[in-house]
Amino acid sequence: MLADGRELIYFDDADTRLPAERAIDERELAPRPATAEMRQDPLTGEWISIAAARQHRVVLPPAELDPLSPQSPGNPSEIPSRYDVAVFENRSPSFGPEHASAETFDPLGALDGLRRVGLERREPSLGRCEVVCFSPEHEGSFGTQTVTRARTVIEAWAQRTAALSALPGVQQVFPFENRGREIGVTLGHPHGQIYSYPYVTPRTERLLAAIDSYGPALFADLLERERGGPRLLIEGEHWSAFVPFAARWPIEVHLLPHRHVPDLAATTLAERDELAVLYRRLLRGVDALYDTPTPYIAAWHQAPVHTRRDEVRLMLQLTSPRRGADKLKYLAGSEAAMGAWIGDVPPETQAEALRAAIGKVSE
């Protein structure tokens, strides 16, 4: 536990040289902020979490004050000990720390209630937000880690997905990595996050509607089409990566498992082993497109916890606004206001460039 009661979990590499003992967090910390409030937008039915405590987040600190580095005499950071991979509860969460009552929580009834639309509806932002530190080093990303370390991070994602899915009130679990200041990243330390939502997210609700229209074979048919097509980037025994047919972003890649699994917790050890190699190679290929690192959002879309798990397949969606070496795509009128996207680069053209970049990357 951290000094204010937040949970901290260490995940060690298979070949770790770290001792089993871990230091105690001896800081004096202020009490945790109260759970934020959700408000419903009656024009869309979507829920907006109003989390004012996020305004106090650390922004681009110097290396000697990195809050995700191990604690030192001059740096009272969030993690007391040297570590390989560390996961801890966010100090200023968008959801949580309050949970639903385990005795009274009805997951499907709660979903139905949240989907109803009304005026000035308010609910507590129940759930949990965690930070996943990929390395004790001050700079880097998932793609800069070793295969061994990448495998440890994947194990942490899988374990935390299972644990967070078991919390009362959680309807969907979302691991992700934001990389680059252009995305809005406030810490250069290699890390990601996991959000546990009290509702099914709007993007997943749109997916459920698409499955209703197409049929339950949507993911299987999509993967079969892409594995034999011009947008395929990487194909392994268990996973395939491709540029989607209707890519929104200048750089957009989807990664799917070959068999149906609803989330990372349901993957096998063999699937996790291959993912550590292929996903790392994919990210390094994205960086090889240009002379400088590419900003991106790497989003692990997982099935809802309590519904449609036999239809919604685990999928990584990696997106970047980078449309050239020194050009970014900004969401202006059509995209931001109307959700009507205009693609800047033909998906087949981008797939060809990405295949060439991935081909330059060493294993």
Do residue 165 and residue 282 come from a single domain? no
Q: Is residue 3 part of a domain?
A: no
Is residue 184's pLDDT more than 90?
Answer: no
Residues 134 and 275 in one domain: no
Q: How confident is the model at residue 55 (pLDDT cuts 50, 70, 90)?
A: confident
In the chain, how many domains are there? 2
Quick check: 198 pLDDT over 70?
A: yes
Which of 183-192, 267-276, 282-291 shows the lowest mean pLDDT across its residues? 183-192
Q: What is the tens place of the pLDDT at every residue in 246-261?
A: 999 999 999 999 999 9
Residue 25 included in any domain: yes
Q: Which residues are catalytic?
A: 191
Out of 174, 195, 216, a domain closes at 195
Give me the pLDDT at residue 96, please: 94
Domain match, 271 and 154 both: no
Q: What is the pLDDT of residue 52?
A: 87
Q: What confidence tens digit (pLDDT) does each residue in 278-293 have?
A: 999 999 999 999 999 9
- The CATH number of the domain holding residue 341 is 3.30.428.10
Confirm whether 271 is domain-assigned. Answer: yes
Q: Quick check: is 1 in a domain?
A: no
Q: What is the pLDDT of residues 5-41, one digit of tens each?
A: 999 999 999 999 999 999 999 999 999 999 999 999 9
Using the 3D structure, point to which of 195, 220, 240 is the last residue of a domain.
195
Query: 288 and 164, same structural domain?
Result: no
User: Residue 332 has what pLDDT?
Assistant: 86
In a domain, 84, yes or no: yes
Q: Are residues 224 and 189 in the same domain?
A: no
Are residues 211 and 288 both part of a single domain? yes
Residue 119 has pLDDT above 90, yes or no: yes
Statement: residue 143 has pLDDT above 90: yes
Mean pLDDT of the region 87-114 = 94
Of 172, 195, 218, the one marking the end of a domain is 195
For residues 80 and 157, state if they share a domain.
yes
pLDDT at 298: 98
For 26, 244, 341, the CA distances from 226, given in Å and listed in that order, are 53, 8, 22
2 domain residue, yes or no: no
Q: Which of 100-104, 224-228, 355-359 comes out lowest in average pLDDT?
A: 100-104
Residues 144-171: tens digit of each pLDDT: 999 999 999 999 999 999 999 999 999 9
| Residues 208 and 74 placed together within one structural domain of the fold | no
How high is the pLDDT of residue 300? 98
At 69, is the pLDDT very low, low, confident or very high (cuts 50, 70, 90)? very high
Per-residue pLDDT, averaged over 109-118, amounts to: 96
Whether residue 35 lies inside any domain: the answer is yes
**If you average pLDDT over residues 310-328, what whole number do you get?**
96
Claim to verify: residue 161 and residue 80 sit in the same structural domain: yes
Q: Could you give the percent of the chain with pLDDT greater than 90?
A: 92
Q: Do 323 and 179 share a structural domain?
A: no
299 in any annotated domain: yes
Asked if 103 and 151 sit in the same domain, the reply is yes
Mean pLDDT (the chain) is: 95
pLDDT of res. 56? 72
Q: What is the pTM of this model?
A: 0.96
pLDDT at 363: 63
225 with 122, same domain? Answer: no
Q: Which domain holds residue 225?
A: 204-360
